[in-house]
Each structure stands twice: as structure tokens, then as C-alpha cells.
Structure 1
Amino acid sequence: MAGQMTAERGERQQLESGPPRSPRVHRRRMLIILFLAVVLTGGGSIWLLYGSPWLRVERVSVTGTDVLTRAQVREAAGVRLGTPLISLDTDAIEARLRRKLPRIDSVDVSRSWPRGIGLKVTERTPVLILGDGGKFTEVDREGVRFATVSAPPKGVPALELTVERSAATTRFGTGRLIGAAARVVQDVPAAVARDMRTVTVRSYDSISLELSGGRTVEWGSSEKGRAKAVALSALVKAASGARHFDVSVPSAPASSGS
């Protein structure tokens, strides 16, 4: 009698709880729960990055400026405060800075989480100065004319273009001639560069230097710059009282005058 009652109680509990769940139903429910968790997590992440007030630009820091001011760089960057940090196009900011401020040689734009943007600027350095009507154009080591100033920077040699219009100038163009002069300046040995006052370009194959004390150097073209630098250093040491040096053919350098 007791066994019968226990069996009846078990059957009643089974009927109340329903049929046993299959493994497939269990897996399906787990997948649904997992999917909902991913959706909620993803939605929360998207809101955090784009919609929340915590990851928005509150400051734009600028480093590396010399001639430019930080305010000029910030203005040219055009980064609006309050913009979601994740939505900023760093490549577009870099391109905008280089376009608006030609003095900038390179710039590294980085997000400074959670609320900042960093602009690390490298400015162009003039190696030549080109005068024109009371104004002076700065030329960098690549021959890029990047800024016009009212007074020439100290210690930067002047560039004189005395090129006559010819087939050669049409072929090379003023830009390439200026680039050649910039390469020459970089190849001149340091001991001589300190005394360099003027770089004169008559043609692509005829570039000369004027040094302090009225001394001159016939450099020739911008090719074989390293060999010419070695030859000039040797000439200056061997003939310290000479007034004119010719290294246009570095294998046969010459000096004259005293």
C-alpha cells in the first residue's frame, strides 16, 4: 500500500513538472541567452564609444613646435571639442595640418584616451633662403619652399638663381635646380658650412659657394657630393690661404689664389 502511494506521488510530480527537457532544447536556450548577452554587450560598447559623454574630446595637446604656435596648430587641425574620440579621422587631421601649415614636415596624430588628442609636430628646417623683393622664402633640405618671412634666419646661406632661360632650365625646372642646391648644402663639410654665405646656381651643372672672406668654391653639379666634400676638406687643410677651390671634378681638385 505504501509503495503504491509513493508511485502515484511520483507520477503526479512528473505530470506537474512536464516532460523531461531534451539536450537540444537546452542548447537552444543557451544560444539565445548567449546571443542576447552579445547584443547587449555590443550595444553597450557602441553607446560607450559614440554616445556616452565620457569618451569625447576635451583637450588637444600640441608638442614639437618651434616657429609655429600651439594655437596655430590647434586651429589648423580643426578638431571640435565634444566629438567622440573614436570617430576622429586621424589621417584627415594630418593631411589638413600639412595642407594649411606648409611649415609642418610631419605630424603624428594620436588618441589620448579617454578624452584627449595629441599632435606631435616636426617643423621643416631651412637650409637655404631665397630673397625676392624684400621678402625671404625658406627652403628645406628637400628643396621645398615652405614659408615666406620678413627677415632671413641667422646662419642660413642665401640662394641666388642666375639661371638663363634655356633648354636646360626647361628640362630641369626651377624646382629641381633649387632641390640640387639644397643637396649641395647638405653635402658641404661642416667646417666649411660654417663659413658659407651664398649658394649660386647658374645651371644644373654649375653650382658655386661663396664663403666668408671672399673665398669661393666651384662645386659643379649636385652629383658625387660625398667625394666632393672629402676633396674640399683636404684642399682647405692643404691650402688654407687659397681664395678659390674647385671640386667640380673630385678626382682632380684644385685651389688657387692666396
Structure 2
Amino acid sequence: MLLIGGTTAAAYSPLFAVEKITVLGATTLDAAAVEAALGEQVGTPLALVDSSEVKAALLAFPLIETYALEAKPPHDLTVRIVERTPVGVIRSDAGYTLVDAAGVALATTSDQPAGQPLLEIDGGTDSAAFESAGLVVRSVPADLRALLTGVSATTADDVTLTLSSGLTVVWGSSEDSPMKSEVLTKTLLSNPEASTIDVTSPHAVVVG
């Protein structure tokens, strides 16, 4: 019991205080900025790191979707983060707001960010149409995602994509998106001059 008690006491002592904070998983975010925001935890015994204070500090970074804390005695605190994945921008009087598939606003800029399609969705981010469009964008193959300039939908069943080449892809609903992605890629290879491709029914693709 003395050993257990001594070990517990040591864990709460300055001998095990945080001296280094490491942020892992940041790609878009500046890891150094996140580490700096958590600077108040330096000097705190690892066992006494306040998770509510950490949460409050990380709220300043809307790009963070989830995070996990990992204590590495004697002095290291590691924060593993998962960033939100943008699906496009919504245009308003305030400018262009970058959003993820859940409709969470990540940033607003006066100019449209490069590589981010314009989302024109009836009902806004709380609609079934937006949920469907978000799922579709996340399922589009990476090479085509880079060419995506516009996404529109009036309902959850009529998502339409526009590529920088001028190609219009009628996707329909988010159902069977993996199959639609595969079919779209194959159709593009065999019909490079197509102006429209309808994969609403992946078993009966219509090319125009």
C-alpha cells in the first residue's frame, strides 16, 4: 500500500509536470499555434491536466473535429487531433464560408478559396439536400474532387456536380456513391468528350 500511495503521490507532483506539448494530426492547422494555445497546461502535473480547459482552448480551432489527450510521463502531453474535411464554400454577403460535411463553418474569406467548389444547396446546411451533397463530395474520387467547381441540390435526390472542364455530373442521391464513383471514372475514360454524365442509376449511365 505504501508503494501504491507513493506512486500516486509522485504522479501528482511537479516531478511529472507538463514540460512539452505535442500536437499530432495537424495538416491544414498550424500545430505550433495549437500547442501555444494549450500553453497554460505547462507546469501542471500530468494527472491534473484539466480536460475542460483543454476543450475550451481548442474551441478556437473549428477545423478540429475530434481530439484525444495522451500523457507520456515524465513530462510530455500529446494531443492527437482529427481535422474536419471541407466539402466546399457557401457564398453570402459576408464572403465565402468554408464548411465541412456536417455544415460546420470553418473559415470565411472575401475571395473563394482555391480548390473549393461553390455549394448552392436549397435549405442551407441544415437540410437533407446539404447532408446528401456533403456525402457525395466526400465520395468523389480525389482526382475528380480537385476539378470540382460547383455542387448544387434542391433535394437529397438531385445532387449535381460541375467540373472545371465544363462537365456536368448528375449524381442523384448519395446512395450507392462508391459504385457511382467507380462508374463515373470508367465512363470518363471511355467518353472523354462528354458534356454530361448521369450516374443517378449506376447500372444505366446516361452520357450526353
**TM-score normalized with structure 2 length:** 0.81
Task: Return the alpha-carbon distance in structure 1 between the equivalents of residues 8 and 138 of structure 2.
Answer: 52
| Aligned pairs (5 A) from 1:161-240 | 161=121, 163=122, 174-240=126-192
Q: How many Å separate the matches in 1 of 2:183 and 2:11? A: 62
CA distance change for structure 1 residues 76 and 178 in 2, over 3 Å: closer, same or farther?
Answer: farther
Q: 1:173 to 1:45 in 2, by over 3 A?
A: closer
Over the aligned positions, Cα root-mean-square deviation in angstroms equals 2.9
Structure 1: which 4+ aligned runs deviate by more than 6 Å? none
Pairing of 1:1-258 with structure 2 (within 5 A) = 38-39=1-2, 41-50=3-12, 52-70=13-31, 72-74=33-35, 76-77=37-38, 79-90=40-51, 92=52, 95-96=55-56, 99-140=59-100, 142-150=101-109, 151-161=111-121, 163=122, 174-256=126-208
Give the AA of the match of 2:104. Answer: R
- TM-superposed CA distance for 1:200, in Å, is 0.8
Distance 1:108 1:216 in 2: 41
In structure 2, relative to structure 1, the CA distance for the partners of 1:225 and 1:106 (3 Å cut) is same
Question: Would you tell me which structure has more helix in proportion to its own residues?
Answer: 1
Answer whether contact 2:63 2:83 (CA < 8 A) is retained. yes
Number of residue pairs aligned between Structure 1 and Structure 2? 207
- In the TM superposition, residue 192 of structure 1 has moved relative to its aligned partner by 3.5
Q: C-alpha displacement at 1:97, in angstroms? A: 5.1
Looking at structure 1, the residues matched to 192 and 165 of structure 2 have their Cα atoms a distance apart, in angstroms, of 12
Q: State the distance in 1 between where 2:5 and 2:167 align.
A: 74
1:133-166 residue CA offsets vs partner (Å, 9 max, x unmatched): 25222223x43424123144322222112x2xxx
Partner amino acid for 2:156? Y
Conservation of the 8 A alpha-carbon contact between 1:98 and 1:105:
no
Identity among equivalent positions (%) equals 29
Maintained 8 Å contact 1:206/1:220: yes
Whole-Å Cα distance in 1 between the matches of residues 39 and 129 of structure 2?
36
Could you give the per-residue CA deviations for residues 18-50 of structure 1, whole angstroms, max 9, x where no partner exists?
xxxxxxxxxxxxxxxxxxxx44x4554344233
- Residue deviations 1:195-218, cap 9 Å, x none? 321111122111111122322111
Conserved 8 A contact 2:128-2:155: no
Does the 8 Å CA contact 1:183/1:222 hold for their aligned counterparts?
A: yes
Compute the TM-score of the two structures, normalised by the length of structure 1: 0.67
- The structure with the larger Rg is 1
Higher strand share: 2
For 2:187 and 2:14, the matched residues in 1 are separated by 69
Moved more, 65-74 or 195-204: 65-74
The runs of 5 or more residues in structure 2 that have no matched partner are none
- Higher mean Cα deviation, 208-217 or 62-71? 62-71
User: Using CA pairs below 8 Å that are at least 6 residues apart, which structure has the higher relative contact order?
Assistant: 2
